[in-house]
A and B are shown apart, each in its own frame.
Chain A
Amino acid sequence: MPVLYSEVLLDHFRHPRNYGSLNAPDISYESFNPLCGDRIRLELKLDQTTVQEARFKGDACAISTAAASLLTELLTGANLKQIAAISDEQLISALQSDIQPARRQCALLPLEALRQGLSEHR
């Protein structure tokens, strides 16, 4: 049974992977939660249709930050078709935590940035 905040979630919050910005990213989108103030900007550098580099930056809660960090790992090396197919459940399960319904939007904020970024890129 998943714990409230798994070791994976806490590790990605304390030591976020791929944190920072890219020089001239091909895809960039900043998503925010208007009430709690979580803000995540996701940036991707593409090599044709493959994600060469993924970065994120933002001030957000532990769940959002860990989800963004995990998402950048899922994105790196994947092609546009594959990243467009990443589902809500795929990202939430990667957190290995018991994400309550009220906190799903925190976990899905980076995915929203990805989807909005992809739709602007098309």
Chain B
Amino acid sequence: MRALKVTALMLLAVACAKENASNSNTASSTATTSGSVDLTGAGATFPYPIYSKWFSDYAAQKGVKINYQSIGSGGGIRQLSEETVDFGASDSPMSDDEMSKAKGGPVLHIPTVLGADVVTYNVPGVTAPLKLTPEVIAGIFSGNIKKWNDTRIASLNSGVTLPSSDILVVHRSDGSGTTYIFTDYLSTAVPSWKASIGKGKEVKWPVGIGAKGNEGVAGQVKQTPGAIGYVELAYAKQNNLPIAAVRNQAGQFVVASVAGVTAAAAGVAKSLPENTDYRLSIVNAPGADSYPISSFTWLLVYKQQKDAAKGQKLVDFLNWALTEGEQSASSLDYAPLPTDMAAKVKARVATVSLSGAK
């Protein structure tokens, strides 16, 4: 009787072990299928549409498969630091502190394309693009300008009938590169913004409501008369949102466009030191055509590649992206790098070491 009990227990234990074994079998078999993926990356959601186009084009042309998870810039930096991915992607450059914590050694920032933020609004009766200066944008988003017919707005838009209604500020509630670019711009162009609010992927907004994602902000602005918010250029163009013309450093009012964003990068590129690490902010760039609220987005790769074969694939891909990839960027409303800058970035890609030696 007792023996029977023991046997039964053993049978049960074996059954359990088998169960576990079959589980781990399926786990390892999925690992082998994903093993046919050559490179894995993770990070920013903002450039995901263009990256996924690149990865599928590249797989079709060269047969190299790249798996990219758009989990957000923060997650991309964390995963790269832990060496769980071959490359990361971020909309804001890594800080020195984050760089020093990366386990695989020095990290290279490779700018790929440019994005921009636009100011969108819902002001009944206004059809032509509103003209705004950085000071007025800062005034609105910090709550100092409360009404649409405030003289500070009206004096920039003579001939436009502005209502006397309250302004409702809509900002992002989730941490995002979009907010980083927007607050980086206001911090650079308006000293009082830098002192009171500062820049970051999320900041402490003095007024307004938070909405999740570009679609949340755009939806809220569309629905609420008197609302103003900021969204990505690509999102605004694809959804035909009204866009404000923003005054740039040269004093011109510029409506955001792919060309204007590339012009901003070119304006900054002129004065770049030779040994730049490309952790650059290009907000409020010089140049008459430059759109001022724009930024690079980066791929993050280790300078020392531990696996020579993978490292070679990564370098090949980066070179492809910086030449052929750039040409398809504007079809998805991303601004390509200025050509001479792309050449310089390629020279930087060439410094990636494949030996693994430190």
Tell me whether A and B are bound partners. no
Q: Which A residues are within 8 Å of any B CB, using their own CB?
A: none
